[in-house]
Structure formats: C-alpha cells, structure tokens
Amino acid sequence: MAPVVARTRAELEEARPRIEGTLALVPTMGALHEGHLSLIRQARRSADAVAVSIFVNPLQFAPGEDFDRYPRTFETDLQACAAEGVDLVFAPGRDVMYPDEPQVTIKSGPMGEIVEGAARPGHFDGMLTVVLKLLNLLRPDVAIFGEKDAQQLAMIRRMVADLNVPVRVAGGPTVREPDGLALSSRNRYLSAAERETAAALSRALRAGEDAAADGPDAVLGAAGAVLDKAASAEPPLALDYLVLVDPLTFTALGGDRTGPAVLAVAGRVGATHLIDNVSLHLGKEH
C-alpha cells in the first residue's frame, strides 16, 4: 500500500492518530539510497508502523554549502518508501517547519564544535533543532539514525538524555558500495575519477582498523598513509580531518589508550564533502 503523505501540519495531525501501535521514525533529507532503506527495514523490525521524514533542513547548511544543489528526488523516494511498506511519509516544506525565523534553537554544546562541528560550524545546532522538531511533531517510540554519521548519532543520544526526550534512539550499520565507499546522497555529485579517489576514505579506515591492536599511533599512521597517497591522486583528496575519538564524547584518544574508539575521516573530492567512520577496539585484549 502507498504510504500516507503529509506535507503540512494539518495533514500530519490528521494522519498521526490513525497510526496504530508503536511508531518508528527514520528522519532523512531524501535522495534515498540503500543506506536509508536499511534503516527503514530496521524501523519495520522495531515497531508496528514506520514513518519517514524527508526534509532538506536549511538550518544545518552553512552559507556556501550545497543546500541549493542538494539532490531532491521526491517521486522516486516515495516509490522506494511504498516498496518498503512505509506507513507515513512526512515531507514538509520550509514554511511548514520554519513558518517564522526561529528564535529558540538547540545549542549542541562543546561536542558540536569539535571534529565535524569544527569543519561545519553551526551544523550540529541546526541538525539537533530539526531532529527535536521532528520528534515533537511525529512523537515516535523509536527514532533510527545511521552510524555513517557517528557524531550526529552520538549528539542525538546526548540531546535525548540531556533533555529527557521521550524516544528510544537506535543506530543502524553503514551500508557500503562493494569497494567500501559509504553510500551517501552526495555520491551522485562525483565524476568517475572523483569516485575512484573517494574510495580512499574507506580504504584508510580499513587500514586503521587492521592496526587497532597496536594502539592509537599505529591506527592513525596506517590510515594516514592511505590518505597521503590519495592527496596526490588525480583528482586529489583534500583531507579535512582524520581523528581517533571516544565514541561517546568525540574527544581525541591517543597514547596507550585501549578499548572502544571511533576512527573518523572527512575530506573533499572536487566540491564534494564526504565523511566516513569505523568503530574499532584499541589494544590487544578484547
């Protein structure tokens, strides 16, 4: 059955009470790919009904970023949602989400200013603000986010804990191309040659993961070597950061640190900003 589509608050207020049982929400910016679909399938297993939101959130794009050219493929997205048995698609326009210039917004705090937050100032404030608004509008029992955006997931968990938001947050594993490139709506910007260079991001993460038993320096060294090579490829990878961080706080780990960590990388190929990460366990004992 085709999903119910709500584009306005009135349509949502009519559709939401018709959902029976528990609801899982998958927030997206559309241009749906297999990564989103795997979250939708996880949502299906987590609740009686599934809602997908599709909204390219202007608040989380800085001036000069790709808000205007971000892919918008609503009809295809809707077909994909229908094929996955999604019950409700919430696709508000900008005027529905932000009828007035918002005054009160979420401040992401110190964690929002490091790593990806340092590369994209204001991004996490805008992201958390829209996620809280979507949670308030749709009132899901569970909300599902991709581990592909690991800092985003960690920050949403913090917001939900710090502000006592009544929702369960779940993460879904990163879906990748056969060569390792993480699926992203932005991959469609890449030319064939750029696509080749971009594969270095996940190759670097795998090299780092393979060195995890030998500690932080070995991880960063192994991943860094792959990225150095990609920096002189044609077209080159312009590295924004390669960091080894605590999975909960995203603060840097080093020295003889052991235990769980996230190795995160971001870079630009041509005009396209790409990010990826892998969870690993530092040290020999498991």
Give the active site residues: 36
**Interaction of residue 194 with ligand AMP, rule CB under 6 A:** no
Asked if 274 interacts with ligand AMP (CB under 6 A), we say no
Q: Does 146 bind ligand AMP (CB under 6 A)?
A: yes
Which range in 95-103, 110-118, 144-152, 247-255 contacts ligand AMP by CB under 6 A? 144-152
For position 172 contacting ligand AMP by CB under 6 A, the verdict is yes
190 makes contact with ligand AMP (CB under 6 A): no
Give the residue, chosen from 182, 242, 243, 261, that forms a contact with ligand AMP under the rule CB under 6 A: 182
Asked whether 267 and 239 are in contact (CB, 8 A), the reply is yes
What is the C-alpha end-to-end distance of the chain, expressed in Å?
Answer: 46
In the complex, minimum distance from the CB of residue 96 to ligand AMP, in angstroms, rounded to a whole number: 18
Name which of 143, 124, 145 is nearest 250 in CA terms.
124
Parallel, antiparallel or unpaired: strands 259-269 and 49-54: unpaired
Residue 151 is a binding residue for ligand AMP (CB under 6 A):
no
Question: Could you say whether residue 51 binds ligand AMP (CB under 6 A)?
Answer: no
Residue from 3, 4, 36, 112 that binds ligand AMP (CB under 6 A)? 36
Does position 138 bind ligand AMP by CB under 6 A?
no
Q: Counting contacts by CB under 6 A, is residue 140 touching ligand AMP?
A: no
Q: Is 279 in the site for ligand AMP (CB under 6 A)?
A: no
Q: Judged by CB under 6 A, does residue 175 bind ligand AMP? A: yes
State the SS3 of the chain.
CCCEEECCHHHHHHHHHHCCCCEEEEEECCCCCHHHHHHHHHHHHHCCEEEEEECCCHHHCCCCCCCCCCCCCHHHHHHHHHHCCCCEEECCCHHHHCCCCCCCCCCCCHHHHCCHHHHCCCHHHHHHHHHHHHHHHHCCCEEEEEHHHHHHHHHHHHHHHHCCCCCEEEEECCCECCCCCECCHHHHHCCHHHHHHHHHHHHHHHHHHHCHHHCHHHHHHHHHHHHHHHHCCCCCEEEEEEEEECCCCCCECCCCCCEEEEEEEEEEECCEEEEEEEEEEECCCC
Return phi, psi of residue 67, to 5°. Answer: -55, -45
Closest approach, Cβ 17 to ligand AMP, in A, equals 26
Contacting ligand AMP within 86-105 (CB under 6 A) = none
Contact with ligand AMP (CB under 6 A) among 12, 24, 39, 80: 39
Among 3, 35, 215, 216, binds ligand AMP (CB under 6 A): 35
Q: Which is nearer to ligand AMP, 35 or 215 (CB)?
A: 35
Stretch of 32-40, 102-110, 198-206, 230-238 contacting ligand AMP, by CB under 6 A = 32-40
108 lines the binding site for ligand AMP (CB under 6 A)? no
Q: Does 167 bind ligand AMP (CB under 6 A)?
A: no
Q: Which residue ranges make up the site for ligand AMP (CB under 6 A)?
A: 28-29, 35-36, 38-39, 145-146, 148-149, 172, 174-175, 182-185
